[in-house]
């Protein structure tokens, strides 16, 4: 499937990527290779193949929820970078807090 430079620009715009004009040709080649590989995958006969959810024959281990040892509040307050006893102060990560 041959892609035009306009196709690359459209995909970049939809992906909210800024691609410099001098790199459009490089991305056109790379995107064409990806689409070619996807087309090859579409041609693979998978009739009768069971869906694979995990590569190993393991099942999630569900242990009982048993409380373990805890730190004393005073020890935790000494370890925390900032605290407002009896709470540990953490940066805001929801909304306009920025996050980690």
Each residue's pLDDT tens digit in the chain (100 positions)? 689 999 999 999 999 999 999 999 999 999 999 999 999 999 999 999 988 877 887 777 888 999 999 999 999 999 999 988 889 998 888 876 555 5
Any idea what DSSP says for residue 85?
T
Any idea what DSSP says for residue 4?
P
27 occurs within a structural domain? yes
Q: How far apart are CA 42 and CA 46, in angstroms?
A: 9
26 occurs within a structural domain? yes
Q: How far apart are CA 21 and CA 24, in angstroms?
A: 5
63 occurs within a structural domain? no
Domain boundaries, position 21: 5-42
Total domains present in the chain: 1
36 occurs within a structural domain? yes
79 occurs within a structural domain? no
| H/E run at residue 84 | strand 83-84
What phi and psi values does residue 2 have, to the nearest 5 degrees? -85, 130
């Amino acid at each position: 499937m041959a892609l035009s430079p306009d196709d690359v620009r459209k995909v970049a715009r939809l992906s909210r990527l800024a691609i410099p004009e001098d790199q459009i040709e490089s991305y056109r080649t790379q995107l064409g290779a990806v689409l070619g590989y996807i087309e090859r995958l579409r041609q693979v006969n998978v009739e009768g193949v069971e869906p694979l959810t995990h590569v190993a024959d393991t099942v999630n281990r569900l242990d009982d929820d048993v409380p373990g040892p805890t730190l004393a509040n005073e020890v935790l307050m000494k370890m925390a970078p900032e605290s407002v006893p009896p709470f540990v102060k953490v940066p805001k990560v929801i909304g306009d807090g920025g996050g980690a």
